[in-house]
Amino acid sequence: MARVVITLKIMPEDVDVDLNGLLEKIKAVVPKGTDVGATEITPVAFGLNALRMNVSREESMGGTDDIEAAISELDGVSQVEVERVSRM
């Protein structure tokens, strides 16, 4: 089976959310077998920044619902959006 790379955009609840701290929490809750790759903080508007990150996993593990649910449950997360899914 192939691996897939998923690009996620995580929007914080507020401009005061520490995105570096949030990233560490995300790394702790992503489902087993999902690897966190490149991350970046990108400006959105009016001082609000989003966290964009790549995660990879085996294609056989299915869709992204479990990843999105785990991240969405964290304090400080407003929204999780899948921007892209591609095969390696």
- The domain ranges of the chain are 3-87
Residue 56: partners with Cβ closer than 8 Å, 6 or more residues away: 3, 4, 5, 6, 34, 35, 37, 88
- pTM beyond 0.75: the answer is yes
Tens of pLDDT, residues 71-87: 999 999 999 999 999 99
Which tens digit of pLDDT belongs to each residue from 13-41? Answer: 999 999 999 999 999 999 999 999 999 99
Find out if CATH 3.30.70.60 is the number for domain 3-87.
yes
Q: Which residues pair with 51 in a beta bridge?
A: 10, 41
